[in-house]
Structure 1
Amino acid sequence: MKCNKPATDISQQIKQLKNRGLIITNEVTAAHTLQNISYYRLSGYWWSMQSNKVSHVFKPNSTFENIIAIYDFDRQLRFLLFDVIERIEIGFRTKLIYNLSHEASPWWFEDGSLFKNHVEHADTLILIDKELNHSKEVFIKQHRTTYYSDIRRPPAWKTLEIASFGNLSKLYGNLRPSIRSKNTIAFELGTVNHTYLPSWLQTIAQIRNICAHHGRLWNKNLPGRPKLLAKPPSAWIKNIPPVNEHHMLYIHLCCMKYLLNIINPRNDFRDKLETLLGKYPNIDPNALGLKANWQNEPLWQ
């Protein structure tokens, strides 16, 4: 079956939305919005407002203004999480480079004997090489100029400083369990041992990529599922969402907050999240998986 849908202009898009029951009180504003935020991008925010997902009929009292409010909330949520994830990423990166460089060598990331899956390790190095080749960092260029006869990549504190969070988490997850630093890093981040931390890093890296590519987090079925500790050594939540809710954002926010509390104990993540939710009272907490009184949980105090 071929897709033969024609392109529609802004006026046709507005007419179609109104015919489907969406209330648009100011067509000039709606037209301006659709000229700068595509119809298809916004459709992810009005999907839950439709009573019929086949004919795309909207529920009563659905408004274009509410869709834009949700869109703006989601945009600001991405900004907030990007800042939180940056702090986690830098903290994890520092521990990974420091511990492994001392336990093994400054070129530990090249040593295949340290990794469980050699194919996965080789694939990760290919991705890191692409990052090195595209890097404009002065310290990478200077290293190659100074040590031009050394065929190895720059040492970990240079190479892995420009590696993506995703590639760092792949390196860590693929380390052999016998590597002492794998447990040391997990312990330093409050996740006891290497059993749990890889899944946390993977899901956080996925959310980081969503934020970086301006994707939707509101009402999103997230791909990762963090493996939770039975008895975390630091403050955690008492009302733990069931496994069938781990695709929602809340449990991922909790994992971020847990790591952030260790890396930056005096963080203001809760205050900023509360302020953002207060700014958009139309946001349904259930779309994020937020539990009642989440801010009173020990983790968020």
Structure 2
Amino acid sequence: MKKYKTLDEQIELLRERGLTITDASKTKRYILTNNYYNIINGYSKYFCSSPNKYLPSATFDEICNLYYFDKEMKNTLFQAILEAEGHIKSIMAYRFSEAYQNKKYAYLDINSYDSKKILDVSFITSKLFKIINNKKTKKSTSIHHYYNNHGDVPIWVIVDYLEFGDIVSLIENLPVNIQNKISRDLLSFINENLNQECTFTPEQMVSFLKNIREIRNICAHNNRLLEFTCKSDAKFFDNLHSQYNLAPNSRRRNVYSTFCLLSCFISKIEFAKLNNTIRKRMRTLDKKLSSITINTILDKYGFPKDWHERGPLSQ
């Protein structure tokens, strides 16, 4: 059983392990307000030469800077994913409405989905029904307005009440003809960002969205992003991955891979902002590291060596 340690004891332990702490009072305040476990257990290992032994020049400030950088990475990626989420919700709602015009509550009908995926569809329709049932009596909601004034809640209304994972599941279970239209609509982003004409399959689209969803969850719950890997490799998309030096046999499940995938779901300006913000954050961190190099950290996110030294994208 781990014994309770005072702030002074925690600092003394770090010093015994070779970590340089220049301002004990400031460090105690930081540990108290930011959680010793999250900072030390989550980020200090990158400054160690062996278990429980820090590199000769490692400092507490370096660990804090890496901890803060990871938070900035999560915030930056999360904002870009919200942009992608908005785009994909809008496209999906439009194409679904187009396919089932004038059919009330079409998204509650299992016949509106792929007939081969009945069990998954039942889960989705059940959740949609619960959302409507819960919100229809709340006067401040758009669901209440449409339910009581129009006798229907269109899909473009209910999508705003769905989580990103729900949207991904919904798209994954749509008929192939609707999936094809959605993936073709995304080509406006893809062709713009890649500067080339290409094709984009529903299988690739769903695979990309699943990995983006995993990164989104890490960011939303403020878990450690550094070294995170998704459950599966994203489907290989030659037009995209070749531009980022990711081969068919490359692992495509890390943060860098997911960063690349976002270019398929956001505009050129939005992706440039994402790219440039991350680059700026990396360059700042580089100046604050002394015991290790920035490339050690870039590698843990999956970014290529010296990626931060590349020029910014035009905004």
Same fold (TM over 0.5): yes
Find the counterpart in structure 2 of residue 140 from structure 1: 143
Whole-Å Cα distance in 2 between the matches of residues 295 and 189 of structure 1? 28
Find the counterpart in structure 2 of residue 202 from structure 1: 210
Structural mapping, 1:154-169, within 5 Å: 154-169=153-168
Aligned match for 2:238, one of 230, 252, 255: 230
- Alpha-carbon offset, residue 127 of structure 1: 4.0
SS for the counterpart of 2:175 is: coil
Structural mapping, 1:1-301, within 5 Å: 4-42=1-39, 43-53=41-51, 56-105=52-101, 107-113=105-111, 114-115=113-114, 116-129=116-129, 131-132=131-132, 133=134, 138-146=141-149, 154-177=153-176, 180-190=177-187, 192-232=200-240, 237-240=243-246, 243=249, 245-261=251-267, 267-281=272-286, 282=289, 283=294, 284-292=297-305, 294=307
Instruction: For structure 2, list consecutive stretches of 5 or more residues without a partner in the other structure.
Output: 188-198
The residue identity in structure 1 corresponding to 2:168 is: S
The residue identity in structure 1 corresponding to 2:277 is: K
Whole-Å Cα distance in 1 between the matches of residues 74 and 142 of structure 2? 30
The residue identity in structure 2 corresponding to 1:140 is: I
The residue identity in structure 2 corresponding to 1:37 is: N
SS for the counterpart of 1:280 is: helix
Whole-Å Cα distance in 2 between the matches of residues 255 and 220 of structure 1? 16
- Alpha-carbon offset, residue 86 of structure 1: 1.1
The superposition leaves residues 134-159 of structure 1 with CA deviations (integer Å, 9 ceiling, x where unpaired) of 79752123234436xx5x7x221111
Residues 118 and 280 from structure 1, CA distance in 2 versus in 1: closer, same or farther, beyond 3 angstroms?
same
SS for the counterpart of 2:49 is: strand
- Alpha-carbon offset, residue 46 of structure 1: 1.3
Whole-Å Cα distance in 2 between the matches of residues 128 and 20 of structure 1? 54
Does the 8 A contact of 1:139 with 1:158 survive in 2? yes
Q: % of aligned pairs identical?
A: 22
Residues 51 and 193 from structure 1, CA distance in 2 versus in 1: closer, same or farther, beyond 3 angstroms?
same
Q: Normalising by the residue count of structure 1, what TM-score does the alignment of the two structures yield?
A: 0.83
The number of residues matched between the two structures is 287
The residue identity in structure 2 corresponding to 1:218 is: L
Does the 8 A contact of 1:221 with 1:247 survive in 2? yes
Whole-Å Cα distance in 1 between the matches of residues 254 and 312 of structure 2? 18
- Alpha-carbon offset, residue 101 of structure 1: 1.0
Residues 221 and 46 from structure 1, CA distance in 2 versus in 1: closer, same or farther, beyond 3 angstroms?
farther
Does the 8 A contact of 2:276 with 2:313 survive in 1? no
Whole-Å Cα distance in 2 between the matches of residues 181 and 126 of structure 1? 21
Q: Normalising by the residue count of structure 2, what TM-score does the alignment of the two structures yield?
A: 0.80
- Alpha-carbon offset, residue 125 of structure 1: 3.4
Residues 224 and 47 from structure 1, CA distance in 2 versus in 1: closer, same or farther, beyond 3 angstroms?
farther
Does the 8 A contact of 2:275 with 2:313 survive in 1? yes
Does the 8 A contact of 2:87 with 2:265 survive in 1? no
Higher share of residues assigned helix: 2
- Alpha-carbon offset, residue 265 of structure 1: 6.7
Does the 8 A contact of 2:124 with 2:169 survive in 1? yes
Whole-Å Cα distance in 2 between the matches of residues 270 and 236 of structure 1? 18
Find the counterpart in structure 1 of residue 191 from structure 2: none
SS for the counterpart of 2:88 is: helix
Residues 238 and 85 from structure 1, CA distance in 2 versus in 1: closer, same or farther, beyond 3 angstroms?
closer
The superposition leaves residues 173-211 of structure 1 with CA deviations (integer Å, 9 ceiling, x where unpaired) of 12233xx12011112213612120001111111111111
Find the counterpart in structure 1 of residue 192 from structure 2: none
Does the 8 A contact of 1:237 with 1:297 survive in 2? no
* Aligned-residue CA RMSD (Å): 2.9
Instruction: For structure 1, list consecutive stretches of 5 or more residues without a partner in the other structure.
Output: none
Residues 8 and 298 from structure 1, CA distance in 2 versus in 1: closer, same or farther, beyond 3 angstroms?
closer
